[in-house]
Structure 1
Amino acid sequence: MRRQKRTNSERAFSRGYMAGTAGRSRSLCPHVAGEARQVWLTGWREGREDHWNGFNTLAQVQKLQNY
């Protein structure tokens, strides 16, 4: 069975989330404007929050799979 390709918003969220958990600045967002930027920033915020709350790597991977 083939895997379904992820949408742009799913990719933007997951990349923002990974940047947030890695402690990177939100100014590194690759999107200039539009919906993709908002989704990336949402992922970044959730990633920072999870990092501050002490989520381990396994919990972070599980969260990304559920998104």
Structure 2
Amino acid sequence: MRRLKRDPMERAFQRGYQHGISGRSRDLCPFTHQHTRQAWMNGWREGRGDHWDGFIGTAGIHRLNQLNVAG
């Protein structure tokens, strides 16, 4: 059975979250398309908020999984 590709918006969100949780700048966004860039920025904002709240390391990974299940 063939595996379906993941949604590009979901992948952009996850990559943005990973950048945000690690404290990286939002200027590092690799996307130029408006919708994928917005998904990346939304993930970055969530990640930054979680970084400030102390969800770093393993806790940040678990938080990302919770966001994926809820979203």
- The normalised TM-score by structure 1 is 0.82
- TM-aligned CA deviation for residue 4 of structure 1: 3.5
Q: Percent identity?
A: 52
For 2:44, the equivalent position in structure 1 comes to 44
The 8 Å contact of residues 14 and 64 in structure 2, kept in 1 or not, is answered as no
Of 27-36 and 41-50, the range deviating more from structure 2: 27-36
- Report Cα offsets for 1:41-61 as digits up to 9, x if no partner: 000000000111112234334
Q: Is the 8 A contact 1:13 1:39 kept in 2?
A: yes
Unaligned runs of 5+ in 1: none
Structure 2, unaligned runs of 5 or more: none
Specify the code of the residue in structure 1 equivalent to 2:38: Q
RMSD of aligned alpha carbons = 1.9
Taking the aligned partners of 2:48 and 2:66, their CA distance within structure 1 comes to: 13
Aligned residues: 67
Structure 1 residue aligned with 2:66: 63
TM-score by length of 2: 0.78
How far is the alpha carbon of 1:62 from its aligned partner? 2.3
Q: Is the 8 A contact 2:21 2:60 kept in 1?
A: no
